[in-house]
Amino acid sequence: MILAALCFSMMLGCVKMARAELPALEIVLWRGAIAAPLTILIALPGRHFTISRPGLLLLRVAFGMGAMLCYYTATRGMALADLTLITRLQPVLIAIGAPLIMGATERMERGAWGLLAVGIFGCVVLLGPHLSGDGWGVWALGALLFGAAAHIALRLLGKTESSRAIVVWTQLGILALALSLVMITTGGLPRIPPSSLWGWLLGVGGFATCGQLLLTKAYTLDRAGVIAAASNISPLWAVLIDLALFATLPSTSALIGGALILTASLGLVLRRK
């Protein structure tokens, strides 16, 4: 999960660069066009492509698509560190939601409710400046909720399906859905991006593929809340990328709110039996 967090942070940096010229939906499309063939090539040696619960897989695709659209849209107006910190509330939401859907085996300790309150307060502090006028914080909240639902669906699939099959069909499903939406919204075939963006788009697809493979494998090994909490190293990666690519540092509200969110999320790991 730590390696997956690094891949997704690198991917997000590439997305932010591409967002200067492309809308979020088109980036999702080209990400899928690059990631799907890479995923199939990586998965070919295993040849485990059978899915026994296609309905649940479709939910995973839909939630994943929603999370990506919101996430990529928010990159246009938010620093990577701010955006990454807000998504750190996701493990707490997963820890609360997973037992309700998956049963007692996913149950976290009683302190999870208190940690949820701390995390939500941190979320309010962090997102306050982004909710006041520009609206980017709303997109970040959407990414948070869709992402939590996608991770719970992934944990459910991981109990019966191979990680390679999940990743392959998820990538193909998101590609098909993104292509359909682009054709509906534009009334034709998608446009070819300018050559200056292909390096960033290749980075989006490549890092996304590696991140998805690592993420899916992680969720086959332990409880959803615990695995998600291990991704709390993401803000460190995001701060480094912000510095390297955009010469920016986290805002004061991001540092305070992010500290509360990380406290809540890390608390889940410390309370693990």
Is pLDDT of 71 > 60? yes
DSSP string, 120-181: HHHHHHHHHHHHTTT-HHHHHHHHHHHHHHHHHHHHHHHTTS-HHHHHHHHHHHHHHHHHHH
Least confident interval from 4-13, 41-50, 69-78, 178-187: 41-50
Would you state the pLDDT for residue 10? 93
Q: Which residue has the higher pLDDT, 219 or 198?
A: 198
pLDDT digits (tens, 9 = 90+) for 33-52: 998 888 888 777 666 678 88
Mean pLDDT of 145-161: 86
pLDDT digits (tens, 9 = 90+) for 164-212: 788 888 889 999 999 999 999 988 888 899 999 999 999 998 998 888 7
> Do the beta carbons of residue 92 and residue 260 sit within 8 Å?
no
Is pLDDT of 152 > 80? yes
Contacts of 189 (CB under 8 A, 6+ apart): 183
Q: Which residue has the higher pLDDT, 156 or 112?
A: 156
Would you state the pLDDT for residue 52? 85
| Length of the chain, in residues | 273
Mean pLDDT of 204-232: 77
Share of the chain above pLDDT 90, in %: 23
Is pLDDT of 100 > 70? no
Mean pLDDT of the chain: 81
Share of the chain above pLDDT 70, in %: 84
Q: What is the widest separation between alpha-carbon atoms in the chain?
A: 54
Is pLDDT of 106 > 80? no
Q: Is the pTM of this model over 0.95?
A: no
Mean pLDDT of 135-144: 84
Least confident interval from 30-39, 61-70, 143-152, 211-220: 211-220
If 0-12 CB within 10 Å is exposed, 13-18 middle and 19+ buried, where does residue 141 land?
middle
Would you state the pLDDT for residue 14? 94
- With bands split at pLDDT 50, 70 and 90, how would you rate the model's confidence at 66? very high
Please give the backbone phi and psi of residue 130, each rounded to the nearest 5 degrees, phi first. -85, -15
